[in-house]
Amino acid sequence: MATPTPAADLPSRPLTILSEEEEMFRDAVGQFAREQIQPHVRAMDEESKFRPDILKQMFGLGLMSIEIPEELGGQGGTFFQSVLAIEEIAKVDPAAAVIVDVQNTLVINALLRWGTEEQKRRWLPRMARDTVASYALSEAGSGSDAFALTTRAVQVGDEWRLTGRKLWITNAAEAGLFLVFANANPEQGYKGITCFVVERGAKGFTVGRKEDKLGIRASSTCELILDDCVVPAADVLGEVGKGYKIAIETLNEGRIAIGGQMVGLAQGALDHALAYARERKQFGKPIAEFQGVQFDLAEMATGIEAARLLTYNAARLREAGRPFLTEAAMAKYYASQVAEDVASRAVEVLGGVGFTKDYPVEKLYRDAKIGRIYEGTSHMQRLTIAKQILR
């Protein structure tokens, strides 16, 4: 079987305009992903385990602390840079990208916005140095209806006791720190939801079964078991009863990052398809010279650039402090559609070998499906968009 030219040898050059600093940052992250992550992607996928040495390198490069201020050990970067990093890594491995995503756009952002100065000094340097963090909102009966959660929080003196189960929690196998959402006052409905910062070694806290997934298999997804879990009152994030606000606002931002992940995945699939189309010959010439293949590649590239522009626009709006709810929903919804379509077409461009695990597009096709599910399903994004444009 012929080995194709690696897509890494044919780096994509998106049309979107970036600053010189952003271009340098993007290229550095892309080089790291190709040189350090790409050789291990297949093995990590098959073993459903992310390599600790790569995780250590991501910490060393500051990819796990992009927006943490420099005085707290981070990079002092921007939200837009987080999105760029997620996109570049996703070109090589969307599983690695979601590890960076949850750390930066969900947990770090929540701590930066709602943490006290003492909480920031306590936890952010650890997250910059070596501590993976996780975001625990979902439950068996609480997915799209995020505020139907049944995990309970009861205050006992200067401590809280949390009881319940969380499901589908990203980064849970590696995490040392968890943002856990529980209801401290069920009679008040969603207004009782509170966010707690829970240490991995907390009494009554257990990381349970790891899910065996279709895609992004190197990214751990586990259940959390809270059995009268003890959390100091000082570890409430924000205020008691404000957890719903923290969840809504962080997830709105996180959806932009998922858009970046899906754009990167789609670009990676297209890069592999382009490389193969230039080399694969049928009827005496490369298949890239056949108009049917050219049209497929052209449509794939156009969809990716449109999704990238939607995603970048949402990220720029967020950084400018302007409303971005609709744009974030559009970016997440459209980019996840494009990723699934482009990955599917890439498999078809490669033909029979694209259907095998010997070529990366098979994995990217499996990885793409989650984009339409997590951090708000496509149905929920359409509802959000419709509500906003009908106001």
pLDDT, tens digit, 9 for 90 and up, residues 324-362: 999 999 999 999 999 999 999 999 999 999 999 999 999
Pairing of strands 281-282, 285-286: antiparallel
Model confidence pLDDT, tens digit, residues 203-253: 999 999 999 999 999 999 999 999 999 999 999 999 999 999 999 999 999
- Average pLDDT value for residue range 163-171: 97
Reported as a single tens digit per residue, the pLDDT across 25-46 is 999 999 999 999 999 999 999 9
CA 44 to chain CA centroid, Å, is 17
User: Phi/psi at 171 (nearest 5 deg)?
Assistant: 75, 5
Neighbouring CB atoms inside 10 A of 27's CB total 13
Domain over 16-131 is classified CATH 1.10.540.10: yes
Checking if the pLDDT of 318 tops 50, the result is yes
Helix (H) or strand (E) holding 352: none
Global pTM value: 0.94
Strand duo 133-136 + 177-183: pairing: parallel
Structure confidence at residue 12 as a pLDDT band (50, 70, 90): low
What is the amino acid identity at position 152?
R
List Cβ neighbours of 45 (8 Å cut-off, separation of 6 or more): 95, 217, 218, 363
Computed on alpha carbons and rounded to an integer, the radius of gyration of the chain in Å comes to 21
Average pLDDT, the chain: 95
For the chain, the domains span: 16-131, 134-242, 245-389
Catalytic position from the list 174, 253, 340, 375: 375
Given a cut of 90, whether residue 49 has pLDDT beyond it is yes
- Active site includes 71? no
- In this predicted structure, which of 45-49, 147-151, 290-294, 322-326 has the lowest mean pLDDT? 147-151
- List the one residue out of 219, 221, 249 whose CA is nearest residue 237: 249
- The fold of 134-242 is Butyryl-CoA Dehydrogenase, subunit A; domain 2 (2.40.110)
Q: What is the pLDDT of residue 16?
A: 66
Query: Tens digits of per-residue pLDDT, 253-300?
Result: 999 999 999 999 999 999 999 999 999 999 999 999 999 999 999 999
Q: Under CATH, domain 245-389 is a member of which superfamily?
A: Butyryl-CoA Dehydrogenase, subunit A, domain 3 (1.20.140.10)
